[in-house]
Chains A and B, each alone.
Chain A
């Protein structure tokens, strides 16, 4: 397998059992994402985007098919081993921010590294928070921050472990237009600076337009896979 593709999805199928019937949410989805590129997964609500992202990050097990993350077949790992892979190679940004309410902004950013048992990570967390423009809000708790600010914190957290790949599930879905734009800029700036591979889930075609590739999902199937010439690449 070519290590140039950090993420490889093969015939990925996910079925949910709802009552008597099986519901196929993902239907033999295959694609590869090369290291250092950006990619958007778009599709209407309910088309299986979140499910796909979750499977790519090893948050759930597929019904059929395989996911290779950084060359490792996630199917062959147990829960804790997949957690370790996530901790090492993956960054996450969620639609609803998902900060730990009992920790300050700074502490939230430090969590991924601290989970590894690393010490002395505060300076790096502070630096990242400054990068996202929250240098003066480090000791604030999530409830004291606006939605946009919370998403910046979660961005800082996503980048602190220098991930190989960043998964973002509708990162601007809960934000107003103006804030969305700023967050989008930040994501791409940070991504570019760190050379991270970005997989972005959205139903916002404008946002998708910033990426180098758009995978269209509908009814659990890939209906289109377009590569765009990056103007500024």
Chain B
């Protein structure tokens, strides 16, 4: 019976189904992808580390550490890594790069992939360098050319295309250069004050218990500031990052599904409304409420099942594209798998969602009176709205959404927050849509010509799906616009620091004896020196009388160990700079030499982490010399400026004699003058590195683009779902439109006029929906800019306008395509259409 009843509308039902397909497809694709990602991480965990064990330190290994390393055996590989300017004599280009000086056969698992291939195993013997592909392309360098690091010229023997421990996005931020460790000395690069990381990699014979070993090492190397990394620990950190990515994508897919479900609900709603008469007739001939109810519930169930099946199939297919989309963020090779759990999850979610959302309009059937067969009545609406069952279903839907979100985020708080956020977003969209609809109705332009008014009035037709369409299209617009605006804010923020007289070029790692000469060099190019800051490195010894090691090992302390153990780069000066403001205590500009307790200034964030306030005492260790200090003031620092900012600032008169390096800040007017200066500096002071703001800007932009691409890919599902809901809605109301168009023709309207009315209706719809989305996106972007990024907010109107135009264009196009033929139906039909 359920099947027979659906006969007349089967093609329309197919469309209803389509709205669920994409959501399920996204869900299945992401879930299977997540599963194969997990498997890939398991299989390839060794390549993530490239070794069985890694010891890492920010300073050369002590003799004690060296003896421990010696005792471990196995194959060993050493690496010294640091940032340095790479200079390409061929083009004269120079740029900051990550230099990795290696000895031994690391990576033991995975390989340094190069063009020509195999150079990863040969560059050490050849005494040449492997250079990141992007870097080579940027400066037009080819294999056989050379790269100068510090004072040594390396032949480029290979182009690095892939390294085991860095994804594509990372390569963009810090392009790598590999050189043989035995040539490091010749570069003269590792000097006092450089930030260097020292590593040893181990490969053990199979069967050695690395986990046990790591535990023992933990004890033997206590107090050595050495980080021990095993395949397991690397897998955990990497897995956690990947899982977050995967869960995020999953939630985005869920939004598409939710949107599809709303589409299903609204389609079924209209479908049932149109079926009310036949339902009433069924009731008249003796069908029980239960029977009629099940007829439609079964229809919806079958619909949901077929839709979910199709979605699962499509999703499995889409899964093959995901690794390519995510290429820039993946470290492992992800293979295609047919995931049973993913399919099952997709099918069950699809079925549950369809049934739940179908129930909403379906419960109205229980209230259909057989009388309806005799006399059409519109009173049933209010009764349904008061139906308590309706609220029960809403409740179940809310629970399902929360359960899904919690199961994805694996945390109650986040799950509920996501569900709540979703509810708020939908609520806002719906509210906004309702407001716009209300405004239009309220200020209805009575003086407009007939087609404009008629098409506007059509938005309020009985059984209209205006709200649903505005939700579906509006959400898609919102996602895209929001994404765009956030990207824009971030870019503007970086760009803003390159405006006016803001510094845009920073030189660091300057040795004290180079400082004066470098300053003169900058001046000789006609450029200003904005800041020339000394940097002293120090560590914390104790805070408030307690050794930092003791605090670290104390499980009741909530001070993070990174804040306790890190190396602090501090400066000393007698004035505040324009990115700083004192929030507590008083600023002490200078302390005369025989002071036994120095009053220092802490940045507010780090003061909070260290749980220090004004007046608290601490002892710092300046290159082996202990120094008593007291918190004299707390500063708020605006970190968003590209210039050296510090957690800790000392007054003048204390650290002048301590070993130190310097940083110099200047501003160049053009990319060329920046390049010439950097070149001159690299030639005269090969150990000095530069951060060029324009480069940072470009890097940020390219990273943002990569992230945006991934998000856009997922947002696409929501947008497509929105469009399908639109098509379904147009098709659903087609009969009504045909009737009306025929009536208008009978009354003497030309076909062109009818087409115009239709087109204008979609125009309004597209406009209202895209405006809703854009307005909300602007509001949320504004809030983000104001509260999260603390950036000024400007709207790029032109792109927003094009988004609106695009959505409107698509809406009108799809609407009109699906309305083909409506204007040309022979008008005689109207006389036959019986009430």
Contact = CB atoms under 8 A, between A and B. Distances in A.
Interface stretch (A64-72, A84-92, A126-134, A202-210): A84-92
B594 interface: no
A84 B834 contact: no
B458 A102 contact: yes
A94 B830 CA distance: 9
A83 B749 contact: yes
Interface string A90-128: 101011111011110001001110111100000000000
Nearest to B463: A101
A59 B461 contact: no
A36 to B, nearest CB: 22
A169 B831 contact: yes
A53 B749 contact: no
Contact of B831 (A94, A110, A157): A94
Contacts of B752: 80
Interface residues of A, number: 39
A117 B753 CA distance: 11
Interface string A42-54: 0000000011011
Contacts of A51: 828
A57 B832 CA distance: 14
B828 A102 contact: no
A110 B740 CA distance: 15
Among A84, A94, A100, A110: residue with most chain B CB under 10 A = A100
A102 B464 CA distance: 10
B699 interface: no
Interface stretch (B231-239, B354-362, B449-457): B449-457
Contact of A143 (B462, B824, B828): B462
Nearest to B745: A83
Contacts of B747: 86-87, 92, 111-112, 115, 157
B454 A103 contact: yes
A128 B454 CA distance: 21
Contacts of A60: 826-828
A54 B831 contact: yes
Contact of A80 (B378, B461, B751): B751
B639 interface: no
Nearest to A85: B748
Nearest to A97: B835
Contacts of A161: 748
A195 to B, nearest CB: 20
B743 interface: yes
A174 B375 CA distance: 11
Among B378, B740, B828: residue with most chain A CB under 10 A = B828
B826 A88 contact: no
Nearest to A118: B450
Contacts of A107: 453, 457
Contact of A117 (B449, B743, B745, B834): B449
Among B461, B747, B826: residue with most chain A CB under 10 A = B747
Interface in B814-835: 824, 826-828, 830-835
B746 interface: yes
Contacts of A169: 831
Contacts of A90: 748
B461 A57 contact: no
Given A84-B750, A86-B747, A102 B827 contact: no
A226 B752 CA distance: 42
A53 B831 contact: yes
Nearest to A98: B743
A62 B466 CA distance: 40
A102 B753 CA distance: 17
B753 A115 contact: yes
Interface in A9-32: none
A79 interface: yes
Contact of A59 (B744, B751, B831): B831
B831 A87 contact: no
B3 interface: no
A57 B450 contact: no
Contact of A83 (B450, B460, B748): B748
Nearest to B456: A102
A80 B750 contact: yes
Contacts of B453: 107
Q: What bracket does the count of chain B residues touching chain A fall in?
A: 20 to 34
Among B454, B748, B753, B830: residue with most chain A CB under 10 A = B748
Contact of B834 (A88, A96, A100, A101): A96
A168 to B, nearest CB: 11
Given A50-B832, A54-B831, A100 B748 contact: no
Nearest to A84: B748
Given A83-B750, A84-B748, A88-B748, A96 B835 contact: yes
Contacts of A101: 461-462
A107 B127 CA distance: 89
Interface string A160-187: 0100000001000010000000000000
Interface in B515-550: none
A59 B750 contact: no
B504 to A, nearest CB: 60
A147 to B, nearest CB: 9
Contacts of A50: 831-832
A85 to B, nearest CB: 8
Interface in B691-706: none
B449 A115 contact: no
B590 to A, nearest CB: 80
Nearest to A113: B450
A111 B747 CA distance: 8
B817 to A, nearest CB: 22
B831 A102 contact: no
A86 B454 contact: no
Contacts of B745: 79, 83
Interface in B449-495: 449-450, 453-454, 457-458, 460-462
Contacts of B744: 100, 111, 115
A54 B750 CA distance: 17
A143 B378 contact: yes
B748 A57 contact: no
Among A96, A97, A102, A103: residue with most chain B CB under 10 A = A102
Among B460, B824, B831: residue with most chain A CB under 10 A = B831
A92 B746 contact: yes
A12 to B, nearest CB: 14
B743 A100 contact: yes
Nearest to B829: A59
A95 B830 CA distance: 10
A88 B457 CA distance: 25
Contact of A102 (B460, B746, B824): B460
B441 to A, nearest CB: 11
Contacts of A114: 449-450
Contacts of B828: 51, 54, 59-60
A228 B828 CA distance: 30
A102 B834 contact: no
Contacts of B457: 102-103, 107
Contacts of B743: 98, 100
A176 to B, nearest CB: 11
A94 B742 CA distance: 13
B454 A59 contact: no
B748 A59 contact: no
A53 B450 CA distance: 28
A110 B454 CA distance: 12
A86 B748 contact: yes
B833 A96 contact: yes
Contacts of B740: 100
A54 B753 CA distance: 22
Interface string B601-627: 000000000000000000000000000
10 contacts: A79-B745, A87-B748, A88-B748, A92-B747, A100-B454, A102-B457, A103-B454, A115-B753, A143-B378, A169-B831
Given A60-B827, A115-B749, 11 more contacts: A60-B826, A83-B750, A87-B748, A88-B748, A90-B748, A102-B460, A103-B454, A111-B747, A112-B748, A115-B753, A157-B747
The 3 A-B residue pairs with the shortest CB-CB distance in the complex, in nearest-first order: A87-B748, A114-B450, A96-B835
